[in-house]
Amino acid sequence: MKSLFEQMGGTYTKVGDYYLPNLLPAEKEIEIGIWGQRHARYLKKHHKVVYYELLTRGKLNEYLADLNEQAED
């Protein structure tokens, strides 16, 4: 019998002897440069709501990589 979480499309990952729910969406593996890393620190310190919103939506790395690209151009 599936749990309500599984019935709604949720998945689990086995860590040791425990199954932990995958609560955050998987983010793309994108290399983030120095400007993206600095902006991430700035957001985390001064704009926590924006930082955690991007993080929980799975868009933080994409946002930071795009910002880094703009800064390098």
Sign of the CA dihedral 45, 50, 12, 20? positive
At residue 49, the pLDDT reads: 97
Q: What is the pLDDT of residue 22?
A: 85
What is residue 47's predicted lDDT score, i.e. its pLDDT? 97
Per run of 10 residues, the mean pLDDT along the chain (length 73 residues) is 84 89 77 94 97 91 94 91
For residues 40 and 64, is the Cβ–Cβ distance under 8 A? Answer: yes
Q: What is the pLDDT of residue 44?
A: 96
End-to-end CA distance of the chain: 54
**Residue-level pLDDT at 30:** 84
